[in-house]
Amino acid sequence: MAAFQEKQLPKDAPVSAKALNWVDSRFPLTSTWKAHLSEYYAPKNFNFWYAFGSLALLVLVIQIVTGIFLVMHYKPDATLAFASVEYIMRDVPWGWLVRYMHSTGASAFFIVVYLHMVRGLLYGSYRKPRELVWLFGVAIFLCLMGEAFMGYLLPWGQMSYWGAQVIVNLFGAIPFIGPDLSLWIRGDYVVSDATLNRFFSFHVIAIPLVLIGLVVAHIIALHEVGSNNPDGVEIKEKLDANGVPLDGVPFHPYYSVHDVMAVAVFLIVFTAVVFFAPEMGGYFLEYNNFVPADSLKTPPHIAPVWYFTPFYSILRATTSDFMAYLMAGVAAYVALLVFRSQRSGVFKIAAIVIGVAVIAGMAIFDAKFWGVVLMGVSVMILGGLPWLDHSQVKSIRYRPSWHKYVYLVFGIAFVVLGYLGVQPPTAVGTMIAQIGTFIYFGFFLLMPWWSALGRFKPVPDRVTYHPH
């Protein structure tokens, strides 16, 4: 172990310099600042898509701070929870503002994260060497979904209560362990005070700790390999005599100033929603959630919050009639793997065995179980993107033009699934959701083939940059 050394400064050095030197000798403050801000070189051709990562960090801070103030007055008790929320809204000074900032922040978080993920899709930010950055991001997304679901129950309104009842009961569809798993999650035979207490504990303590750890890991992993850019060019491959990327600029002050502007625009929109439309027509705060939870009165239509509805639509689309089409889809995909894949014979045999097992399982277990499976897989499949995309280039800029329409169709299908998940189920809506489900999974599962097709444009050696 190296001996402790403290840098010697002139006696007339400013007090601030001496204080910083004292800290640096005991904690890597300056070196951390340099590594992650002032000497972290980011590509000089970032565009507005690259502001959403910083905005996500801002919203996380807003949620933590407002959550702390809400916990001061909230009562995690089934008989007091709804009244405590009303107390916060009506009697706590500025309590209504804190509550609306927290509820609006939940939706803002998912809007920003979805846009952040869109940028990753468009520019191939999940490709080598950033696979781990992407996996940390998917883990953050899963944590966000868990955090939002746990927090959704806490107001103890009608939609909170019955939404949690429906979602938790879905786990009961899992063969053999389902009923016991649902009971374990609820802590009771129905959603009750025990459920509220454990959801409160996870929402306030457990998941935020994991989330913060994943965010730190995400940033560290990103800064280790460097940021991607709209051209998909690795700037670390072109260095000057001092080892500085020729196409890079220090993140601070260049992009920190850009992010300040993005934050200002975001806060204008955010505060406009908070002050003028916090319910956002029932999408951010459902009207039924202003009614106390009643275990004897089920709302006519139960749907999760909008950011869960694309995946909820996939669940609802999986009906008994739809199972035959799913079986045919699995059989066709296995045939595609066997006859069109360049993989080894062992891989093809494994694909056939797994395909037969899945088709047999679809014949044995009911549609409700497979709906839960598809809903879970629809989120988890995002983690496989680094290995599904076989494109010659990273960025959409240099891919064949028709690739843009593939992304567009996928995006439209995702939005339509989200809209249908909010609406009451109908025969036509279910059919559209089933088509959307095939498009959603087809986008990912067929990506090894379609992403490699077409005529690719040459990627420049240096980033394309236009001063502004």
Residues 249 and 314 in one domain: no
Find the domain containing 408 and state its range.
Answer: 308-450
Mean pLDDT of the chain: 93
Query: What are the structure tokens assigned to 244, written together?
Result: 């500085």
Helix, strand or coil, per DSSP, at residue 326: helix
Going by pLDDT thresholds of 50, 70 and 90, the confidence category of residue 1 is low
Please say whether the beta carbons of 81 and 75 come within 8 A: yes
Specify whether 328 is located in the same domain as 274: no
- 49 located within any domain: yes
Q: Determine the 3-state secondary structure of 29 from DSSP.
A: helix
User: Is position 111 within any domain?
Assistant: yes
Together in a domain, 313 and 273? no
Same domain, 210 and 340: no
- State CA 120 to chain mean position distance: 12
Q: Are residues 195 and 323 in the same domain?
A: no
pLDDT of residue 26: 87
pLDDT, tens digit (0-9, with 9 covering 90-100), for 372-382: 999 999 999 99
From 283-287, 300-304, 309-313, 397-401, the region with the lowest mean pLDDT: 300-304
What percent of the chain stands above pLDDT 70?
99
Is the pLDDT at 202 greater than 60, yes or no? Answer: yes
Query: Do 267 and 322 share a domain, yes or no?
Result: no
Within a domain: residue 124? Answer: yes
Residue pair 238/461 in contact (Cβ under 8 Å)? The answer is: yes
Residue 431, pLDDT > 90, answer: yes
Nearest to 338 by CA among 322, 359, 355: 355
- Residue at 455 is within a domain: no
Give the C-alpha separation, 126 to 118, whole Å.
11
Note whether 273 and 319 are same-domain residues.
no
Distance CA 150, CA 198 (A): 9
pLDDT at 110 over 60: yes
* Run of H or E including 100: helix 95-123
**Cis omega before residue 253 (within 30°)?**
yes
Give the start-end residues of each E strand in 199-297: 248-250
CB 177: neighbour CB atoms within 10 A? Answer: 11
How far is Cα 89 from Cα 438, in angstroms, rounded to an integer?
44
Residue 22 within any structural domain of the chain: no
What is residue 133's three-state secondary structure?
helix
Same domain, 107 and 206: yes
- Indicate which CATH number applies to the domain containing 202: 1.20.810.10
Q: Based on the domain organization, do 270 and 417 belong to the same domain? A: no
Confidence (pLDDT) at 344: 79
Mean pLDDT across the stretch 72-95?
96
Asked, for residue 456, whether it belongs to a domain, the answer is no
Q: Are 210 and 97 in a shared domain?
A: yes
Buried b (16+ CB within 10 A) or exposed e, 2-24: eeeeeeeeeeeeeeeeeeeeeee
* Reported pTM: 0.94
Q: Does 56 score more than 70 pLDDT?
A: yes
Task: Check pLDDT > 80 for residue 343.
Answer: no
Q: What is the pLDDT of residues 221-242, one digit of tens each?
A: 999 999 999 999 999 888 888 8
Max Cα distance, the chain (Å) = 83
pLDDT in tens, 7-24: 888 888 898 888 998 898
Whether the pLDDT of residue 253 is over 70: the answer is yes
What confidence category does residue 61 fall into, taking pLDDT thresholds of 50, 70 and 90?
very high
Tell me the torsion sign for CA atoms 377, 379, 380, 383.
positive
Q: How far apart are CA 420 and CA 425, in angstroms?
A: 8
Q: Which range has the worst mean pLDDT, 13-17, 57-61, 97-101? A: 13-17
131-153 and 207-225 helices cross at what angle (nearest 10)? 160
Average pLDDT over residues 157-181: 89
Residue 468's pLDDT band (boundaries 50, 70, 90)?
Answer: low
Look at residue 408 and tell me if it is in a domain: yes
Count of domains observed in the chain: 2
Q: Residue 209 — pLDDT band, cuts 50, 70, 90?
A: very high
User: Using 50, 70 and 90 to split pLDDT, how confident is the model at 3?
Assistant: low
Tokens of 50: 């690259």
User: Does residue 230 have a cis bond before it (omega within 30 degrees)?
Assistant: no
**Residue finishing a domain among 232, 262, 280:** 280
Looking at 193-238, list the stretches that DSSP marks H as alpha helix, in order from N- to C-terminal side.
193-201, 207-225
Confidence bin at 2 (pLDDT 50/70/90): low
Same domain, yes or no, for 214 and 356? no
Torsion of CA 25, 28, 30, 34, to 10 degrees: 150
Residues 276 and 162 in one domain: yes
Task: State yes or no: pLDDT of 65 exceeds 70.
Answer: yes
Least confident of 1-5, 56-60, 294-298, 420-424: 1-5
**Residue 23 counted as domain residue:** no
Region 293-304 average pLDDT? 87
Among 107, 86, 82, 104, which residue's Cα sits nearest to residue 95? 86
